[in-house]
């Protein structure tokens, strides 16, 4: 391939190891589709767990070793030597979240006349160190290869976050009334009711929050995608399960269980709600683009190592809020992440200010640039310099 090769002709391999939940494959699948559809790259996604992948994309057959979906080639990454021995090495190799691609593949990378652009796609973080380490090179200890670290982030000097080019248009054209009838089976609630989507890990704070919604003065409509929080809803309502299609009502609270929402339609759930409870990385980013108030359940780590990351995100997001609203948001997010009991009344008193901030934040975040665009620019520059 000549030095004048157009970026749109590049081939890309993305390696993804599914550690837990849907975050890793969720991010990789979005990036893969975007590189294919918006940038014309030939993309191959190697995943070690196709069953989890199938939940996000029903088109994926968990029994097939090789298949295609959304224009992306999907391989079951099942053995350490598989990729290096049988596949042509791509122009751009993305090692998602330090998953450690097979040594055999790395060895073949080193023998390629034009060395591939090797990128370690890191987890999203709002910490200041992100800008310092973004795009920093790391030479391989044995081979003549160099890997660069690509850090998603919220500020200048980072890789930004994922945003498809048509996302704003799809949000503007969203038919909420039709969505409610199709997905929930009821008419869209009156504006006097607060609609909340709840997508979370298991959380000891949920019982107190459900009780506050039940006993509150204002009616709440809760939308709960079937998942890890469903058991807590079942216990609260005294039901054997709270599976897709179930509904329950007590006091001022009514709740509806939804089927697991496949990735391309998850945004619609966020657009349909007044406030969104999200978890992990992928839904966290989608909540920000939804331009609605949201609460983040960060993935918990040992020794509370996740809390500085939570604070870093809060510092970015609450910048410019009045002191009372900022303090309420900090307290509520920390409570939801296990430090105390959340106080819904105090938090939601600031609804209008939080709604205005959500709109401003989406605009601010867009100025950093989309992650895929930034990644393509870096890969193209590195490839042409090789």
* Chain-centroid distance, C-alpha 326: 24
Q: Which of 127, 226, 274, 281 is catalytic?
A: 281
Which DSSP state fits 62? T
Q: Are 318 and 326 in contact (CB under 8 A)?
A: yes
d(CA 22, CA 57): 11
Q: Is 385 considered catalytic here?
A: no
d(CA 161, CA 198): 22
Q: Residue count of the chain, please give it.
A: 386
d(CA 137, CA 140): 10
Beta bridge partners of 138: 147
Beta bridge partners of 46: 15, 75
Start-to-end C-alpha separation, the chain? 11
Read off the tokens for 153: 């982030």
Burial 311-343 (b: 16+ CB within 10 A, else e): ebbbebbbeebeeebbebbbbbbbbbbeeeebb
Q: Which of 24, 127, 274, 282 is catalytic?
A: 24
Q: Is 215 considered catalytic here?
A: no
Which DSSP state fits 184? I
* Alpha-carbon distance values, 179 to 65, 176, 187, 193, 215 (Å): 35, 5, 9, 17, 28
- Active-site residue list: 24, 281
């Amino acid at each position: 391939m000549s030095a004048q090769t157009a970026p749109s002709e590049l081939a890309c391999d993305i390696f993804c190891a599914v550690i837990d939940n849907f975050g890793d494959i969720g991010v990789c699948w979005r990036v893969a589709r975007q590189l294919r559809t918006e940038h014309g790259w030939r993309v191959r996604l190697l995943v070690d767990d196709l069953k989890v992948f199938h939940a996000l994309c029903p088109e994926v057959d968990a029994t097939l070793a090789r298949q295609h979906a959304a224009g992306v080639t999907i391989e079951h990454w099942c053995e350490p030597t598989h990729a290096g021995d049988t596949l042509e090495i791509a122009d751009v190799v993305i090692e998602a979240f330090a998953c450690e691609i097979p040594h055999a593949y790395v060895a073949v990378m080193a023998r390629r006349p034009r060395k591939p652009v090797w990128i370690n796609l890191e987890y999203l973080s709002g910490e200041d160190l992100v800008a310092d380490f973004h795009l920093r090179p790391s030479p391989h200890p044995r081979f003549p290869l160099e890997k660069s670290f690509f850090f998603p982030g919220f500020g200048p000097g980072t890789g930004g976050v994922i945003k498809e080019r048509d996302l704003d248009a799809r949000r503007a054209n969203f038919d909420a009334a039709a969505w409610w009838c199709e997905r929930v089976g009821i008419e869209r609630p009156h504006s006097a009711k607060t609609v909340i989507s709840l997508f979370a890990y298991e959380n000891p704070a949920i019982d107190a929050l459900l009780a506050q919604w039940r006993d509150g003065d204002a009616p709440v409509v809760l939308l709960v995608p079937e998942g890890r929080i469903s058991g807590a809803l079942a216990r609260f309502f005294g039901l054997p399960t709270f599976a897709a299609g179930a509904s329950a009502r007590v006091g001022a609270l009514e709740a509806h269980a939804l089927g697991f929402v496949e990735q391309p339609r998850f945004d619609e759930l966020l657009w349909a709600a007044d406030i969104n409870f999200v978890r992990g990385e992928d839904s966290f980013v989608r909540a920000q683009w939804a331009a609605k108030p949201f609460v983040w359940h960060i993935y918990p780590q040992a020794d509370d190592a996740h809390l500085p990351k939570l604070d870093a995100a809060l510092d970015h997001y609450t910048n410019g809020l009045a002191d009372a609203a900022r303090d309420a948001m900090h307290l509520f997010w920390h409570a939801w992440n296990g430090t105390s009991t959340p106080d819904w009344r105090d938090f939601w008193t600031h609804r209008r200010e939080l709604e205005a901030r959500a709109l401003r934040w989406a605009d601010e975040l867009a100025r950093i640039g989309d992650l895929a665009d930034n990644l393509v620019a870096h890969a193209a520059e590195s490839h042409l310099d090789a």
